[in-house]
Structures are given as C-alpha cells and as structure tokens.
Chains A and B, each alone.
Chain A
Amino acid sequence: MQKEVMFAGFGGQGILLSAKLLAHAAMNQGAEVMWIPSYGPEMRGGTAYCTVIVSDRLIGSPIVKNPTHLVAMNRPSLEKFAPVVKSDGVVMINSSLIPVRSGRDDVDELIVPANDAAIEVGSVRCANIIAVAAFAARSKMVDLEILRECVKSQFASKAKLIPLNMAAFDKGLELAEGK
C-alpha cells in the first residue's frame, strides 16, 4: 500500500518542513518513505512543493502525477494540484489565504484557517505545524503521538520554540476535529 502527499505553497511557508515531519513520523513507524522537494529558482518566493511517499514496501518512482492527498497552503497550489488528486483523498485547504474550494466532490476537503490559527497561537510561522497536524489527524496516515515527538525533536536545538509548536500542533488537531 502506497500513499503520496503533495505539500504546496509559497516559498517561506515551511512546506518542506511539514513534509519532512510527516515523512519522519512514517519512517519511525517502520514505513518506507521518500521526501522529494522541488528545488531551484522556484524555491525563491515562488511556489514550493514537496511530495512525501509512504509505503509498506520499497518505493519505486519518485515521480508522482496523481497524489493520494494534497496540503495546499496558498491559492495557486490548490488550483494547480487539486485537479490531479486521486478520488477519496484528503485536500487540506489553508482557508486563511485561499477563498475558493477544490471544486471536487470526490475528495475529502479539510478546511483549516492555518495562518489565522497560527497568529492566535502566537506566531504565523507555525502555520505549517498546524497544517501537518490537522492533515495527519484527518488522513490518519501516521500515529499522532509519533508525529508530535518528531515535531519536538525537530526543534530540539531551539527548545524555547517547542511550547509554541506544541500549541500549534494541538490547534491543528482541534481544527481537524471540527469538520
């Protein structure tokens, strides 16, 4: 069984980190994982996207045309990738920045005002943590406690940021509940 998640947004929104945290948690659960970034000039302020593949066997192609799920942090990302998500996938929409919806009735839309919630928690910079927590809660791709530990270890060298990111993590879980 293989699942692919596309994380997409502006450069600077922490897209690559959200994706890495998911991949890290899946690896710690014993899955095969692959994290594939877009790289180069497009990272400099343009659209950044990153694919995470999680599988129970060796992963073949790093090239994914139709991902299982999408985490869209800005409008161009949603418009670009929502049409290619597989049926029944989760499409997380950062509604703080995206006024539209996916236009699909065969996917599970998860509406998360990630930026607004992040400001509420303490810093807009933790919107990516809210997003990955909310997405993980809805998609059930990884164990949430393992993911939480991965977030903690990510900030181990900047320990003062851990409480903020834990608050963001909880906020993400809460937002995923309120369907």
Chain B
Amino acid sequence: MAKVLMKGNEAIGEAAIRAGCLNYFAYPITPQSEVAEYLAKRLPEAGGTFVQGESEVAVGYMIFGAAACGERVMTTSSSPGVSLMSEAISYIAGARCPAVFVNIMRGGPGLGGILPSQGDYFQATKGGGHGDYHMLVMAPDGVQEAVEMTMQAFPLAEKYRGPVMIMGDGMIGQMMEPVEFPEDLYVPPTNKDEWATNGMDTRKSDTKNIVKSLYLDPTVLNDHNLLLKSQYDRMKEEEVRFENYNTDGDYQALIVSYGTMSRVCKTAIDEMKAQGLEIGMVRPKTLFPFPEKAIHDAASKPGCKVVVSIEMSMGQMVEDVERVVKGKTPVQWYGQCGGEVPTPQKVMEHIQSLLNS
C-alpha cells in the first residue's frame, strides 16, 4: 500500500477505523481536536458512530456504556481532559471492559500549556483514577507507530478486558509523517457474549449479564482485585515492548527516553557517535508494563557510568528507571517541562558535561 502523508491526530482516527472501531466519543481539546474533526467526517461515511459529548466526564461514560455492550470504542483527549475521564477509566478497569483511550499530552499542571509534554506519565502508569488498577500504556515515537499501536490497542484491550492507553504528545499529534496502514494488524473482535450487556437474546441460556465495579463484600472485592492483578502480571510477561538503540557495543552512558523525546535523543546519540562518544538508549514502547529487565540489563553493562532518564516532564519516569536499575548504576533525570522539546544540542551538552564531571 502506498504511503500517505498524515497528521498524527488524523492517522490515529483512521487507524481506529482500520482496526474495526466504528464508535468514537470525544470532547474537543487542543492539541488533539483534529482526531474528532477527522472522525466527525469519516465515521458517518464508514457507517459508524460519532458523538461530541458535553464534557470529558460524560465522554468517559459514553465509552463505558458502549464498551459494556461489547463494541469496539475509542476516545481521544489531552491531559486536562484525561483527568476528567480518569473517573470513568477507574470504573471501566473495575468493570473489566475493553476500551481505548488516547492522550495527546500537553503541559500541566492545571491548564498548563498546549505544547508537547510527557507530564502525564504518573497519571497513566500509576493510576490517575482511584483504586487498584493499571492500564496497558503504549507510547509511540511517531505517526507510523501511533497508527500501529492504535490498531493493536483494540485486541489488547479485549485480551485483558480493560482500558488501554496510547500516550502521545502534542508533537506526535500535530506533525505529519508518511504512514502505511498495515492490513495484517487488523484482528477481528473477540466474542463478548459471555460478559457484555448486549441483551439476553444474544445468549442461549436465560442468564443476565451485569457490568459493574461494585463489590461490597471485602473478600469478593479482594478476589476481584487479585484477578485484575493477574491480568497485569500477565501483561508483564507477554506485552513488554521496547527498542534498544546503539547498545550492541560499549557505551559510557545509557539514555532511557520515549515518544518524541526519544527521537531527539537518537539524533543526539548519532552526533555524539560521530564525535567518538558512544551512548546507548533503551526506548520503552510500553510504559506499563515497563521494560524492567531491558533497562536493568543495559544499565548493568560494564563501562556504563550513568543512566539518564530524559523526559519532557520534571522527572517522572526516572522513578521507574531508578526502581529497575536497583542501584547498579547512578540514575539521573534530564529534561524540560514547559512545553519546549529539548534540542539534540542540549541533550548532547548535558550528557557530555555529566561524563566530564
């Protein structure tokens, strides 16, 4: 298939349709409103459903209601909007419904700014909403990967019966790159008649299905939450994704970085290599489950003096990097958190000054 030049936001919308998701509910927010604009036009053509909700709070529950019927469903938003949806995400996780959320991150806290950020790492990987739950979180580094991850998100949400999040940032949403929509990433929806509230007529037996997150009996809730935990443990076994960059040989420092930031770091690594300085990188493609072993092993390589978590935040992922490096190598943070993406020059200068000190 020929490549087309598309904005990240529009490509995510198209990818959802190609993944068999014909149901989209959303509320406008910069820098991702193009997804809604694209799907408002495209979904009716494709025979799908587009609803602009009255708030992100309501949209979260439109997603919940649709997902509970067993239909593939997606919403997209940006940081402040995702905060409002976090209540619904908690309910969806508790009620074990598959749904796909996309966060095209912008700066925070509060209204923050509208420029690219990675300030929602904690929100996405450590909760966001209340209670004991996780989401599978994937972080694309460009438009092509945003397409692929969006297409993969639906079957993954069904496999684990829970919310899956795509974490992009304003840069990935706004920029255009050539993309292909790989047909082999389409996976037919699973049969959901066992649990979905899609009407008893769909079942042979006279049993009703209930979608709920309320378990007043503490032993039952305990068992339910342990069942959720078993799903997260399985994700850690089966879904960890990452990319190693320039780690075959020796290197003096290891960068851990994801999304747009990792693209900048790759350029910095290439330029340092040209100057004779070897720096390696591990790029998490899944933020939850986190590539624990890959980072631990890369950080433990002889000659690696320091690990730097480079983020467009004031230092969030660095806590996970510290956790998995387990003191083998010193771990530091570097980044910017105002919406400006650090330049390759800044990354190089920082790494060089670390190694010279």
Do the two chains touch directly in the complex (Cβ atoms below 8 Å apart)? yes
> Which residues of chain A have a CB within 8 Å of any CB of chain B?
20, 23-24, 27, 32-37, 39-41, 59-63, 65
CB pair B344–A40 under 8 Å, yes or no, is no
CB pair B263–A62 under 8 Å, yes or no, is yes
Near A by CB (< 8 A), chain B positions 328-357 give 341-345
Among B31, B170, B171, B263, the residue within 8 A (CB) of A59 is B263
Tell me if A's interface is mostly helix, strand, loop or mixed. Answer: mixed
Give the residues in chain A near B30, CB-CB below 8 Å: 39-40
Given known A39-B114, A40-B30, contact A63–B344 (CB-CB < 8 A): yes
* A62 to B342 Cα, complex, angstroms: 10
Near A by CB (< 8 A), chain B positions 99-115 give 114-115
Give the residues in chain A near B272, CB-CB below 8 Å: none
CB pair A60–B115 under 8 Å, yes or no, is no
Given known A61-B264, A63-B264, A65-B345, contact A40–B176 (CB-CB < 8 A): no
CB pair B175–A35 under 8 Å, yes or no, is yes
Give the residues in chain A near B344, CB-CB below 8 Å: 60-61, 63
Sampled A-B contacts (16; CB under 8 Å): A20-B176, A27-B178, A33-B177, A34-B175, A34-B176, A36-B174, A39-B114, A40-B115, A60-B264, A60-B265, A60-B344, A61-B268, A61-B344, A62-B264, A63-B343, A65-B345
CB pair B177–A34 under 8 Å, yes or no, is yes
Interface string of B71-87 (1 = CB under 8 A from A): 00000000000000000
User: Top 10 nearest A-B pairs by Cβ distance?
Assistant: A60-B267, A35-B176, A61-B267, A61-B264, A60-B266, A40-B114, A36-B175, A27-B178, A63-B341, A61-B344
> Which residues of chain B have a CB within 8 Å of any CB of chain A?
3, 5, 30-31, 114-115, 170-171, 174-178, 260, 263-268, 270, 341-345
Among A32, A37, A41, A61, the residue within 8 A (CB) of B178 is A32
Give the residues in chain A near B264, CB-CB below 8 Å: 60-63
* A27 to B176 Cα, complex, angstroms: 11
Q: Which residue of A lies closest to B174 (CB)?
A: A39
- Tell me, rounded to whole Å, the shortest Cβ–Cβ distance linking B260 to chain A: 6
Q: Which residue of A lies closest to B2 (CB)?
A: A28
Among A23, A34, A39, A63, the residue within 8 A (CB) of B170 is A39
Give the residues in chain B near A23, CB-CB below 8 Å: 5, 176
Given known A23-B5, A24-B5, A39-B31, contact A61–B263 (CB-CB < 8 A): yes
Q: Which residue of B lies closest to A33 (CB)?
A: B178
CB pair B31–A60 under 8 Å, yes or no, is no
* A105 to B327 Cα, complex, angstroms: 54
Given known A24-B5, A27-B3, A35-B5, contact A62–B114 (CB-CB < 8 A): no
- Tell me, rounded to whole Å, the shortest Cβ–Cβ distance linking A137 to chain B: 21
